[in-house]
Structure 1
Amino acid sequence: MATITRNISTKVNTSGEAEILLRLTVSRSLRLRLKSGIYMNPKRFKDGAIIMPRANQKEAKALNEIEKRLTTLEQLIVSACIDNPPESLSQDFFRDLIDHFNHPEKYEVKKVELTFFGLFNEYLEKHPLSTARANHYRVLARALSRFEMYIQKTANRNYKMTLDNFTTDWIEKFGDFLKAEPELFDKYPEIYAEVPAVVRTQRKPKRPKPKGANTICCTFKRFRAFYNWCIERGYTQNNPFAKFKGIGTEKYGRPYYISVAEVEKIADFDLSENPALAVQRDIFVFQCLIGCRVSDLMRMTDNSVIDGAVEYIPDKTKGERPEVLRVPLNNRAKEILSRYADHKKGNMLLPFISPQKYNDAIKKIFTRCGITRIVTVLNPTTGNEEKRAINEIASSHLARRTFIGNIYKEVKDPNLVGALSGHKEGSKAFARYRDIDEEMKQDLVNILG
């Protein structure tokens, strides 16, 4: 049991008071001399006790308060000795404890005003989001910040966005603002200089790209999710999305992908005159064989390969469904890994470059390999159907679609394919990957006899 004895310093301050000192004994090997930070008239201290005056009630009251504080501090020190392991008890430990006791105002966490954008930051800190989704929410926050500045310049210079003053009408105005941003960039360049639409550039602010219905739909869904989070935590009772009917649903065209034969053509094509492009070709083929997103591919290391398969938790869904995906490697995939066993950066699975350069390389690879057929796509901005050469629009995500599309074509079981791709059962996203091709159509009509 820890024991404490009192003493008083021989030094006095300018007010003629001396500091009470405490001798703490925890064990034979742990004895500490502590400064209490509590001062008093040394004439009223004798043999470890405070002597109360008989006649001076004012002084007696002050000394009684000192006794109470001193007793409380001693109890706190003894409790700390009981609640903490002996090895953590030190001079510095008790110095901090006593300072907390005497100056609690120094350690109070100041309440941050629950501003609209302050809450947005809190949402990003506390809500489980993948890196990609968190970046989408940061894009939304910057767009809302530009919208606030736009309102200040055009309607009300004192306007401040709050959870309570954002109504259904304001959602519609925000949607109109998003659509008009390419034109507003020229009219209000100061807004985009302060809060750029594109932050990954060292140059002057870039003009925002036109936003299609799908982009605005996804933006509104993220905004609604943020509001729902605020309502659940009691930050507001206002729900501007309760009566808003303009979110809609995203519309996507039929997914395009390359066949197994085209993957093999790319894999076997002679690119020896361009070794750097050949490396990116191998990475693309490997991605076609495991079907992951490029963000997951670039996070893989040698440790991701376990017993002849790659194992990973998809970054996009780890906050909601932290499932481990295990995708067996075929012979070509294993051969690619062995080819680069000694030619990569650190522990990375393959010698990656940046995602953008990887996408640029994929387009060059398709062109060199002569895979230039026309595919039908949906323009994300206009929503209109277009015919495009596949080499002009090929990207890393095409590898994922290729993996899913070709496997589904063989097994025709969305749940089995989902076990390899990470799509949950009944996923609307997975439904977009299913390609009802001519062979499958023939199978269906053959049922009729």
Structure 2
Amino acid sequence: MATITRSLSSKVNANGEAEIMLRLSVSRELRLRLKSGIFVEATRFRDGKIIMPRADRKTLAKLQIINDNLISLESRLISLCVSTPQKSLSKEFFEDAILRHHHPELFEAALKKMSFFDVFNEFLDKHLDGAPLSGHYKVLARLLRRFELYRQKTTRTKFTLILNDFDSAEIERFKEFVVNEPKIYDKYPSIYKTASDVVETARKPRRPEKRGENSVIGILKRLRAFFNWCVRRGYLDRTPFATFTGIGSEKYGTPYYITIEERDLIADFDLSDKPALEVQRDIFVFQCLIGCRVSDLLEMTSGSIINGAIEYIPNKTKNERPGVVRVPLNTRARQLVEKYSAKGAEKLFPFISAQKYNEAIKKIFTLCEITRMVTVRNPKTGEEEKRPINEIASSHVARRTFIGNLYKKVKDPSLVGALSGHKEGSKAFARYREIDEDMKKELVSLLD
């Protein structure tokens, strides 16, 4: 977590005031000394705090404004540390943020010259900057562009998306577009032949598939994240989602995962004749042992291991509730790390793309003959159906395996949540564990 300490410059201006200096510590590698642009009389500053007079109300009011401004600036800088990829943080970045804080009018003038997609591309470049989830937002950008073209067709105007005009009614229209896009494609195919200048892609236009309810909700949540970023950046005073209540909540079927015995069967299966698949198997087993999401696994390096435990801030929630998840490594996990550390790679494991990783997991399950039937919820129809687990296995099974098996052992969501990154009382936690038959028998036995 970034921290800020205050000091006072030794230089005094013509008004007898000195500038408050900020020491911003983002990480071990990034520590900066910044000019706050906020001045105070030296006699009113001691041990990093502004000293308030008791009797002089005029001076008190002036100092209170200075103090509030200082707290607001520090809060903004800390927020940027959390919401911006660390490789994008620099002294120039924070100096620009301080300038924008003190002179929003200059910022607003520049914003008027920016289109909706100029802002969205800045969001992609500065906020996500190649992060594991950036691909989902590029899909959103192309979707918004198609929506804009659709609105032009249906209104017969030169309609353009405007950041400040995007209200709850526009969100509702966008949601309807997302739900009905397959039909819209049939009615307005020319929209999909128009080359998009928003996010370059080599993909040829094709008929969109029907989206399930959870998929639509995910798209709206990503759009909400974009508008929340706009508020933090000062582009908007308020997000249009503040008055929109139509996002809904995802629905999931009964969670399925593999047992510890199945996990060990996979871990010990001889794949020496398939070295590429063996690597992906090792990564999957390691993921089963630490319970992280694949987006977090992608970014782990040897530096992520501190005092025998893996430490990371989950990508999915770092903008809402950034907190460090620390998972001690057991013997098997340490052995897997050591197996690949000798190869000198920057990443913890030689990871391939998430899609190919999921394909490899399915092959591994099939080779290990883990093919039992499980009940799942069809994401498009919402109906439950039976599927062999090897056909639907993915990286997220590893996370569920970690959480589900731990919960069977300790039956305490707070303890398990501390290792999985779920906050106390999280509704999402229920998606990762189930009350299985053994636990039901154990509960009933209490009545004997």
Q: How far apart, CA to CA, are the structure 2 residues paired with 1:323 and 1:361?
A: 31
Q: How far apart, CA to CA, are the structure 2 residues paired with 1:279 and 1:230?
A: 41
- Shift, 1:191, TM fit: 2.6
- Shift, 1:265, TM fit: 0.7
Amino acid at match of 1:286: F
Determine whether 1:381 maps to 2:380.
yes
Structure 1: runs of 5 or more not aligned: 1-106
The equivalent of 2:339 in structure 1 is: 339
Q: Is the 8 A contact 2:192 2:205 kept in 1?
A: yes
Amino acid at match of 2:412: D
The equivalent of 1:447 in structure 2 is: 446
Q: How far apart, CA to CA, are the structure 2 residues paired with 1:305 and 1:201?
A: 37
Amino acid at match of 2:360: A
Superposition map of 1:17-416 within 5 A? 111-113=110-112, 115-121=115-121, 131-132=131-132, 135-163=135-163, 166=166, 168-194=168-194, 202-224=202-224, 235=236, 239=240, 242=243, 244-343=244-343, 346-416=345-415
Q: How far apart, CA to CA, are the structure 1 residues paired with 2:150 and 2:359?
A: 36
- Shift, 1:241, TM fit: 6.3
CA gap 1:197/1:314 in 2 versus in 1, 3 angstroms: farther
SS of aligned partner of 1:143: helix
Q: How far apart, CA to CA, are the structure 2 residues paired with 1:229 and 1:200?
A: 23
Q: Is the 8 A contact 1:340 1:350 kept in 2?
A: yes
SS of aligned partner of 2:310: strand
- Shift, 1:172, TM fit: 3.5
Determine whether 1:429 maps to 2:428.
yes
User: Is 166-175 or 376-385 further displaced after alignment?
Assistant: 166-175
Q: How far apart, CA to CA, are the structure 2 residues paired with 1:356 and 1:326?
A: 27
The one-character-per-residue Cα deviations of 1:49-99 (angstroms, maximum 9, x if unpaired) are xxxxxxxxxxxxxxxxxxxxxxxxxxxxxxxxxxxxxxxxxxxxxxxxxxx
The one-character-per-residue Cα deviations of 1:242-272 (angstroms, maximum 9, x if unpaired) are 3x55332211112110000000111111222
- Shift, 1:150, TM fit: 0.8
CA gap 1:319/1:333 in 2 versus in 1, 3 angstroms: same
SS of aligned partner of 2:139: helix
Q: Is the 8 A contact 1:152 1:158 kept in 2?
A: yes
Amino acid at match of 1:318: K
- Shift, 1:135, TM fit: 4.7
SS of aligned partner of 1:432: helix
Q: Is the 8 A contact 1:182 1:208 kept in 2?
A: yes
Q: Is the 8 A contact 1:281 1:362 kept in 2?
A: yes
Q: Is the 8 A contact 2:117 2:198 kept in 1?
A: no
CA gap 1:154/1:322 in 2 versus in 1, 3 angstroms: closer
CA gap 1:297/1:440 in 2 versus in 1, 3 angstroms: same
Q: Is the 8 A contact 2:362 2:390 kept in 1?
A: yes
CA gap 1:183/1:416 in 2 versus in 1, 3 angstroms: same
Q: Is the 8 A contact 1:163 1:236 kept in 2?
A: no
Q: How far apart, CA to CA, are the structure 2 residues paired with 1:421 and 1:238?
A: 30
The equivalent of 1:55 in structure 2 is: none
Q: How far apart, CA to CA, are the structure 2 residues paired with 1:126 and 1:198?
A: 16
The equivalent of 1:6 in structure 2 is: none
Q: Is the 8 A contact 2:141 2:199 kept in 1?
A: no
Q: How far apart, CA to CA, are the structure 2 residues paired with 1:254 and 1:375?
A: 9
CA gap 1:410/1:226 in 2 versus in 1, 3 angstroms: same
SS of aligned partner of 1:271: coil
Q: Is the 8 A contact 2:271 2:278 kept in 1?
A: yes
Q: How far apart, CA to CA, are the structure 1 residues paired with 2:174 and 2:259?
A: 42
Q: How far apart, CA to CA, are the structure 2 residues paired with 1:212 and 1:265?
A: 34
User: Is 226-235 or 323-332 further displaced after alignment?
Assistant: 226-235
- Shift, 1:276, TM fit: 1.4
- Shift, 1:320, TM fit: 3.0
- Shift, 1:287, TM fit: 1.0
The equivalent of 1:68 in structure 2 is: none
- Shift, 1:293, TM fit: 1.3
CA gap 1:164/1:393 in 2 versus in 1, 3 angstroms: same
Q: Is the 8 A contact 1:197 1:208 kept in 2?
A: no
Q: How far apart, CA to CA, are the structure 2 residues paired with 1:197 and 1:181?
A: 20
CA gap 1:174/1:439 in 2 versus in 1, 3 angstroms: same
Q: Is the 8 A contact 1:198 1:205 kept in 2?
A: no
Amino acid at match of 2:355: Q
CA RMSD of the aligned region, Å?
Answer: 3.3
- TM-score w.r.t. length of structure 1: 0.67
Q: How far apart, CA to CA, are the structure 2 residues paired with 1:146 and 1:282?
A: 41
CA gap 1:375/1:246 in 2 versus in 1, 3 angstroms: same
Amino acid at match of 1:390: I
Q: Is the 8 A contact 1:310 1:327 kept in 2?
A: yes
The equivalent of 1:417 in structure 2 is: 416
The equivalent of 2:75 in structure 1 is: none
- Shift, 1:304, TM fit: 2.1
Amino acid at match of 1:319: N
User: Is 302-311 or 124-133 further displaced after alignment?
Assistant: 124-133
The one-character-per-residue Cα deviations of 1:184-243 (angstroms, maximum 9, x if unpaired) are 33554443344669979634234433211112223334445555676795847895763x
Amino acid at match of 2:359: D
The equivalent of 1:97 in structure 2 is: none
Q: Is the 8 A contact 2:142 2:199 kept in 1?
A: no
Structure 2: runs of 5 or more not aligned: 1-105
Q: How far apart, CA to CA, are the structure 2 residues paired with 1:323 and 1:190?
A: 46
Q: Is the 8 A contact 1:197 1:206 kept in 2?
A: no
SS of aligned partner of 2:276: helix
Q: Is the 8 A contact 1:379 1:385 kept in 2?
A: yes
